[in-house]
Structure 1
Amino acid sequence: MDTSRIILVAGATGGVGRRVVDLLRKKGLPVRVLVRNEEKARRMLGPDVDLSLLAQRKVILQIGPSIVSDMFPVVLSRAPGLRSNIKPFLQGIKFFEPEVGTSSRELPWGALDDVVMGGVSESTFLIDPNGGENGGPTGLFRGVVSTTNNGGFTSIRTRNFSIPEDLSAYDGLELRIKGDGRRYKLIIRTSRDWDTVGYTTGFDTVKDQWQSVHLPFSSLRPIFRARTIPDAPPFNPSEIISLQLMFSKFEYDGKLNPTFVEGQFQLPISTIRAYMKEPITPRFVHVSSAGVTRPDRPGLDLSKQPPAVRMNKELGFILTYKLKGEDLIRESGIPYTIVRPCALTEEPAGADLIFDQGDNITGKISREEVARICVAAIESPYACDKTFEVKSVIPFSEPYTVDPDNPPQKKTTICTSKLSKKALQGKKA
């Protein structure tokens, strides 16, 4: 694991949270905590704990992206009231996703063609409501390119971002496109100046096929007016100001685009988003609850369910809202793990565990064991983008104790490799 990045633990004074903090510290990993009460946190976690985020509500509402930009994963334990406040700043980075009804005036992309240099080429960017992979909306970069008057390029470019995008945690950009057999360029700028160096890479497309194109930041080269600038500063992924897509007659340094043809062209674009190299490990580990899908499940015998399921309404629909929180995480684009423990106990760790999906199991599990699962998940590609329930094999009615002279062997991994990323999470299909 990259120990130069800080791990944020939300709800760090709770039963699971403080154990997570302790385990991370024992592994020598840098930790920052999000809590409600500073005095309580320092008393429980020690005077040296990093409390850069104070969790008084009036402070949480002022937290911005810069507070979490230096963090690697986030471990969110069961601290009511904290979840909704940090969620907006942990969204997956996505630069374009088409929406039906978006007018051209509202789109962040605008045409930048060779007319600025006397040419006659022209292009546009619009939303095709039915041109997507599955009949849904897609973006469409299209136009007519001509070499008249020494022209030969068309492009679309975003407006400068009001705040630079920091993609230093990512390895490149992924474009989901329907190719036309031509070669295009992606240009990223790190300066607000209009006519300046653009960090550029080219990519080929396959005619009439949807494809995902990965453009690593390491492939970018500093280009100004189709010429390499050898003394330009290296690309800085933490200072991205704008993006540009181009179809051009020219490659770089006098070379020509081998696929260039004058006339009409079009490139459907489904998404542009940042990606991380494989293997991807969870960046967000969330402790939820077993039972979150059960209150509204038809045909369920509530008399055989835990109290939280039977009394969901009386408890302010707590499980309903926990499920909504899970859904937001799953939809965010962040690599995640959602742990749904059964009833939490203060018993020691060490019992054998049962991992399951579908939200059907009942039982118990120690808080210490859940903390171990959270810490293990951070480093496990097999836990990425999975939701699962977990309990001990010990019946709820049977106390679990550990013989100090013969303690159980510590588990160093979690058994998630056989779990599905596409499980229905207990919902109806």
Structure 2
Amino acid sequence: MSRFKGLLQASLSATKRALAWNMDDLMPPAERFIFNFNSKEELPRWHLYSDSEYGGLSSASLEISDGGNGLRGIFSGNLSLDVTEGSKWNISRSGFCGMRSKQFDGFIDLEGYDIIALKVKGDGRSYISTIYTENWVNSPGQSEDNSWQTFVYVPKDNWYIAKIPVSRYMPTWRGNVIDANLEMNPARVVGMSLSVNAEGGVPGSTSGPGDFKLELDWIKALRTEF
């Protein structure tokens, strides 16, 4: 009888260890690099956009430069509220620029991560962080990726790690928050972007037309809930 109890106890202990190992094995790492701006090979992964595509006069650039402590990305340019005279585009607003990652080869799975972290050095403006997820509707006229956005205030002149809860990202349609009961699918992320508007943003942040500059070290996903 004692031998049976010993065998049963050993079996239960082994099962518990196996279950614990399997659970740990299934959990993603505590952090995951999404973008790292420490190499010029990062540049082809992004494309720039601005109101200039619609008759505006804003401009932007993205480069990888050595700031003395290693390479980092520099997203910079000028925000203008003016519109090209005689433009065929009837735009309702101007004064925006952005950098969007080119679509991933498939998608990346951020399931299990609850924070998007960005190591940045800015100019006191508010920037918009966007996560694009695969469109689950796929109906006619609705082929665009789903987009989720939130403001990121970047203090001026000092490196800063902005930690944004994934739950703070709101569903948007072409820059406007939509009133819909939608839930992000973090397992099907197809891209990200950072953008800046001349107007709006977090109260107290720099706004208005003029130059902007955002330096980037990396963008990561963090898992803080265990």
**TM-score normalised to the size of structure 2?**
0.76
2:116 to 152, 173, 176: 173
Of residues 47, 61, 69 in structure 2, which corresponds to 1:135?
69
Residues 101 and 213 (structure 1), Cα distance of their counterparts in 2 relative to 1, 3 Å cut: closer
CA distance in 2, matches of 1:110, 1:120: 18
Q: Which runs of 5+ in 1 are unaligned?
A: 1-20, 34-67, 74-89, 281-429
Any idea what the Cα deviations from partners look like across 1:220-272, whole Å, max 9, x if unmatched? 101112321112521111111110001013559xx999532212111000010
Residues 137, 24 of structure 1: CA spacing in aligned structure 2 closer, same or farther, 3 A cutoff?
farther
Counterpart of 2:79 in structure 1: which amino acid? Answer: V
1:393-404 counterparts in 2 under 5 A? none
Indicate the SS of the match to 2:15.
helix
Asked if residue 205 in structure 1 is aligned to residue 159 in structure 2, the reply is no
Which structure has the highest strand share of the two?
2
Alpha-carbon contact 2:48-2:60 (below 8 Å) kept: yes
Give SS of 1:187's match. strand
Give the direction of change, closer, same or farther, for the CA distance of 1:101–1:247 in structure 2 (3 Å limit). Answer: closer
Of 206, 219, 222, the match for 1:275 = 222
Q: Provide the C-alpha distance between the structure 1 equivalents of 2:97 and 2:204, rounded to a whole number of angstroms.
A: 13
Query: What CA deviation, in whole Å up to 9, does each residue of 1:334-368 have, x standing for no partner?
Result: xxxxxxxxxxxxxxxxxxxxxxxxxxxxxxxxxxx
Find out whether 1:215 has 2:164 as its counterpart. Answer: yes
Asked whether the equivalents of residues 249 and 256 of structure 1 are also in contact (C-alpha less than 8 Å), the reply is: no
Q: 1:182 aligns with which of 121, 125, 132?
A: 125
Matched residue SS, 1:102: helix
Identity of aligned residues (%): 26
Instruction: Considering Cα pairs closer than 8 Å and 6+ residues apart, tell me whether 1 or 2 has the greater RCO.
Output: 2
Pick one of 188, 193, 211 that aligns with 1:239: 188
Asked if the contact 2:116–2:222 (Cα under 8 Å) also holds between the matched residues in 1, the reply is: yes
Assess if the C-alpha contact under 8 Å between 2:131 and 2:192 holds in 1: yes
Q: 1:142 and 1:24 mapped to 2: Cα distance?
A: 57
Amino acid at match of 2:130: I
Q: How many equivalent residue pairs? A: 201
Kindly provide the CA deviation profile for residues 70-102 of structure 1, in whole angstroms up to 9, marking residues without a partner as x: 8127xxxxxxxxxxxxxxxx7952122123453
Q: Is 1:146 aligned to 2:80, yes or no?
A: yes
Q: Determine the C-alpha separation between the residues in 1 that align with 2:14 and 2:160.
A: 40
Give the aligned CA root-mean-square deviation in angstroms.
3.2
Q: 1:24, 1:188 → 2: CA distance?
A: 42
1:196/1:224 contact within 8 Å kept? no
Tell me if the contact between 1:173 and 1:214 (Cα under 8 Å) persists in the aligned partners.
yes
Rounded Cα–Cα distance in structure 2 between residues aligned with 1:112 and 1:201: 18
CA distance in 2, matches of 1:203, 1:166: 23
Cα distance in 1 for partners of 2:13, 2:191 equals 41
Residues 124, 205 of structure 2: 8 Å contact kept: no
Say whether the 8 Å CA contact 1:167–1:274 is kept in structure 2.
Answer: yes
Structure 2 gap segments, 5+ residues each: 1-10, 84-92, 136-141
Q: Does the 8 Å CA contact 2:122/2:158 hold for their aligned counterparts? A: yes
Per-residue displacement from partner, 1:354-388 (whole Å, max 9, x unpaired)?
A: xxxxxxxxxxxxxxxxxxxxxxxxxxxxxxxxxxx
Structure label with greater radius of gyration: 1
Q: Does 1:158 align with 2:97?
A: no
Would the alpha carbon gap of residues 114 and 257 (structure 1) be closer, same or farther in structure 2, given more than 3 Å must change?
Answer: farther
Post-superposition shift, 1:169?
Answer: 1.5
